[in-house]
Amino acid sequence: MSGSGRRVLVVAHTGRHDAREAATTLLMQLTVAGVGVRLLDEEAALLFDGRPTDPPPEEIVAAGPESAAGCELVVVIGGDGTILRGAELARPAAVPLLGVNLGHVGFLAEAEFADLDHTVDCIVHRRWQVEQRLTVEAVVLSDGSVVHRCWALNEASVEKASRQRILEVVVEVDGRPLSRWGGDGMVCATPTGSTAYAFSAGGPVVWPEVAALLVVPLSAHALFARPMVVSPRSTVAVELIADSAGSGVLWCDGRRTYELPPGARVEVRAADQPVLLARLHQAPFTDRLVRKFGLPVTGWRGRAR
């Protein structure tokens, strides 16, 4: 254990050379500064091509709900997909997640690969603030019994299992039927997920501090098929039509999947446990939106001073 007793869990995209390089730099700089580094056993050998490192990681642990226990941060090096994998480890331990972006957009990331030295300095001197992000819980019921549970930071989506078929669903909000749709499925997203799958499906961008849930039909064949924003206290239910030819699949954050039985009911609501994001900068979300999407703001004058 490091002399300070401090430690961080580092998770990286092991298939990328720049991620392995960043992880090696992070390990060296944090260890020299007295912050111990914990790695996942499934990543440790891949990160360093099986070669011993100097200094070595403080701990190597198995991936699971206890991976981040006792850590003060989970530092993820990669794109949003890798950051979502890190969230699966950080959330059970209520440990803040700090993303270092190696992807293209990287909305969940707080730091960039080019600023790694600054990121290390912020970690060493504990210069971060914690932001809570709403998560959702998805519960699958079949014949009235719960058969599956999962959670998501971005979205829980009910989608068709076959490209050749459409998925027939009825959507309910707070115990009342809303509409029946035939299409590719339905996305139930958080404000964090409003810039992910829901955005690609035509949903609105929602500022992270807004407490709400998004309901976005996927390629629905109906006149009323607009994205909707509902209360964070609402329960959204998606029922698969029992006699429909199409079968369905539940996806949580595009990572965890569950095949839905005929006539299944999926209930989505805000979860009790958030994901904690470590923030190094206090830039408004508007600035993040402009930077990540490269939005044109030439000609803006602002309020006259």
Q: Mean pLDDT over residues 198-222, rounded?
A: 95
What's the sign of the alpha-carbon dihedral 181, 185, 189, 192? negative
Q: Are residues 251 and 283 in the same domain?
A: no
Q: Are residues 142 and 247 in the same domain?
A: yes
Structural domains in the chain (count): 2
Say yes or no to pLDDT of 86 above 70: yes
End-to-end CA gap in the chain: 54
| 248: in domain | yes
- Verify whether residue 80 is a known catalytic residue: yes
CATH of the domain at 251: 2.60.200.30
H/E stretch holding 149: strand 145-152
H/E stretch holding 10: strand 7-12
Say yes or no to pLDDT of 2 above 60: no
Quote the pLDDT of residue 292: 87
Range name among 126-140, 205-219, 241-255 with the lowest pLDDT average = 241-255
Range name among 43-52, 184-193, 197-206, 257-266 with the lowest pLDDT average = 43-52
Distance (Å) of CA 40 to CA 64, 95, 137, 214, 304: 9, 16, 26, 34, 53
Q: Are residues 168 and 280 in the same domain?
A: no
Quote the pLDDT of residue 218: 96
Detail the DSSP E strand segments found in 153-281: 155-160, 167-173, 176-183, 185-189, 213-218, 228-230, 235-240, 248-252, 256-260, 265-270, 275-279
For 21-74, how does the pLDDT look when each residue is reduced to its tens digit (9 = 90+)? 889 899 999 999 999 999 999 898 888 766 666 678 889 999 999 999 999 999
Q: Mean pLDDT over residues 71-89, rounded?
A: 95
Tokens of 114: 């080019």
Quote the pLDDT of residue 56: 82
CA 83 from chain centre, in angstroms, equals 7
Q: Are residues 26 and 128 in the same domain?
A: yes
Residue 290 banded pLDDT, cuts 50, 70, 90: very high
Instruction: Name the residue range of residue 53's domain.
Output: 7-133+275-293
Percent of the chain with pLDDT over 70: 94
| 304: in domain | no
Average per-residue pLDDT in the chain? 92
Peptide bond into 55 cis (omega under 30): yes
Say yes or no to pLDDT of 142 above 90: yes
Q: Are residues 124 and 14 in the same domain?
A: yes
Distance CA(245)–CA(230), nearest Å, equals 30
- The model carries a pTM of 0.92
Q: Are residues 19 and 84 in the same domain?
A: yes
| 299: in domain | no
| 228: in domain | yes
Tokens of 164: 């050749």
- Active-site choice (18, 80, 184, 243): 80
For 157-175, how does the pLDDT look when each residue is reduced to its tens digit (9 = 90+)? 999 988 878 999 999 999 9
- Write the burial class of residue 165 (CB in 10 Å: 0-12 exposed, 13-18 middle, 19+ buried): middle
Tokens of 302: 């602002």
Q: Are residues 75 and 158 in the same domain?
A: no
Quote the pLDDT of residue 49: 65
Q: Are residues 256 and 286 in the same domain?
A: no
| 41: in domain | yes
| 17: in domain | yes
Say yes or no to pLDDT of 99 above 90: yes
Q: Mean pLDDT over residues 266-285, rounded?
A: 95
Determine the Cα angle at 238 with ends 234 and 244, to 5°. Answer: 165
Residue pair 86/100 in contact by the 8 Å Cβ criterion: no
Quote the pLDDT of residue 3: 55
CA 131 from chain centre, in angstroms, equals 14
Residue pair 285/208 in contact by the 8 Å Cβ criterion: yes
Q: Are residues 283 and 262 in the same domain?
A: no
Q: Are residues 94 and 143 in the same domain?
A: no
Q: Are residues 177 and 237 in the same domain?
A: yes
Q: Angle at which helices 17-32 and 116-124 pack, to 10 degrees?
A: 40
Tally: H helices and E strands in the chain: 6, 20
Q: Mean pLDDT over residues 12-24, rounded?
A: 88
Say yes or no to pLDDT of 223 above 90: no
Q: Are residues 83 and 161 in the same domain?
A: no
Distance CA(86)–CA(75), nearest Å, equals 8
